[in-house]
Amino acid sequence: MTTVHIEHPISDFATWKAAFDRAASIRAEYRVRAFEVFRPVDDPGYVVVRLELDNTDDANAFIGRLRQLWTNRDATPALRGTPQVRVLDRVDRSTST
């Protein structure tokens, strides 16, 4: 499993979330298996998104599509600044018992 980790400042969470929800078809097209959205407790003007894909090739293709989307301010109205993106491979995971 490969994770795309994205973080960036936003101007308004409700506006950002609506745009994120409208991009569901893009996530489906690039076979995103799951996602999580986080907000720092001390910074409501920032989001962190983690999306799970099957492999690095899929992740890189998805990121390419996102970079195109991010240049369209109508499609990303609450985006501020340049998103920071990393592709992560999980090397270990544990849960509490």
Name residue 81's amino acid: G
Residue 1's pLDDT is 86
Residue type present at position 11: S
Q: Is the domain 2-89 a CATH 3.30.70.100 member?
A: yes
Residue 63's pLDDT is 97
Q: Where are the domains of the chain?
A: 2-89
Weakly modelled stretches of the chain, pLDDT under 70: none
Exposure string of 49-82, with b = 16+ CB inside 10 Å and e = fewer, is: bbbbbeeeebbeebbeebeeebeeeeebebbeee
Beta bridge partners of 35: 51
Q: What is the pTM of this model?
A: 0.90
Residue among 70, 67, 64 nearest 10 (CA): 70
